[in-house]
């Protein structure tokens, strides 16, 4: 038997890139930005609810009544739909930002959707809350879901006037 050779740099690079491509296959929030590690393979099978990871240091401030697009990375269009929720500071669901359509809590008219326009209620404020995106993957079972969470504060409208001109 001859001497063993170390794998070539190009072979190692191919394996790493292939592995990254496989890992980028599910869902991760883009706006508001996902928690510290915006991993896109957090699911209800292998990670702890409600988000698969603890709160991070990235927090987005939103204003009550504001309208904005929730956007996400989608590496693979699984069967099923998505749902966007607000969770309170104890990470309990308090508000659905997507409608119930034909008896389903999940919006499923476009498997490739990567954004959804939402409006926060005008009388809803919340400190240390969570915006959670749930994405079904029904080909893996009727209850299989991926999730991605963003930490948010929802401030009263007067907050914007109080902070204008400050850096």
Strand order in the sheet with 126-136: 59-63, 145-155, 126-136, 82-87, 93-96
Query: What pLDDT is attached to residue 161?
Result: 59
Query: What pLDDT is attached to residue 158?
Result: 85
Alpha carbons within 13 A on the beta-carbon side of 127: 1
Strand order in the sheet with 115-119: 27-31, 67-74, 115-119
- Res 70 pLDDT > 50: yes
- Res 74 pLDDT > 50: yes
Q: Provide the residue ranges of all domains of the chain, joining segments of one domain with +.
A: 9-163
Encoding tokens for residue 61?
Answer: 């401030």
3-state secondary structure of 136: strand
Instruction: For residue range 10-62, list pLDDT tens digits in order.
Output: 433 333 333 333 334 478 999 999 998 767 678 899 999 999 999 989 999 99
Report d(CA 29, CA 18) in Å as an integer: 22
CATH of 9-163, one of 2.60.40.10, 3.40.50.2300, 2.70.50.70, 3.90.1170.50: 2.70.50.70
Instruction: For residue range 111-164, list pLDDT tens digits in order.
Output: 889 999 999 999 999 999 999 999 999 999 999 999 999 999 999 998 765 555
Query: What pLDDT is attached to residue 11?
Result: 34
Contact 151, 56 (CB under 8 A): yes
The mean predicted confidence, pLDDT, of the chain is: 83
């Amino acid at each position: 038997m001859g001497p063993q050779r170390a794998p070539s740099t190009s072979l190692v690079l191919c394996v790493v890139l292939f592995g990254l491509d496989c890992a980028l296959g599910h869902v991760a929030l883009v706006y508001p930005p996902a928690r510290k590690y915006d991993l896109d393979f957090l699911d209800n099978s292998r990670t702890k609810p409600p988000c698969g990871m603890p709160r991070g240091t990235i927090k987005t401030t939103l204003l009550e009544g504001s309208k904005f697009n929730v956007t996400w990375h989608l590496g693979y269009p699984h069967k099923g739909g998505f749902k966007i929720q607000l969770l309170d500071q104890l990470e309990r669901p308090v508000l659905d930002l997507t409608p119930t359509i034909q008896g389903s809590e999940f919006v499923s008219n476009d498997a490739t959707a990567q954004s959804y326009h939402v409006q926060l209620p005008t009388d809803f404020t919340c400190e240390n809350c969570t915006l959670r995106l749930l994405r079904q993957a029904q080909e893996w079972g009727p209850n299989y879901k991926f999730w991605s969470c963003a930490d948010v504060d929802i401030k009263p409208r007067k907050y914007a006037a109080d902070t204008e001109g400050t850096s």
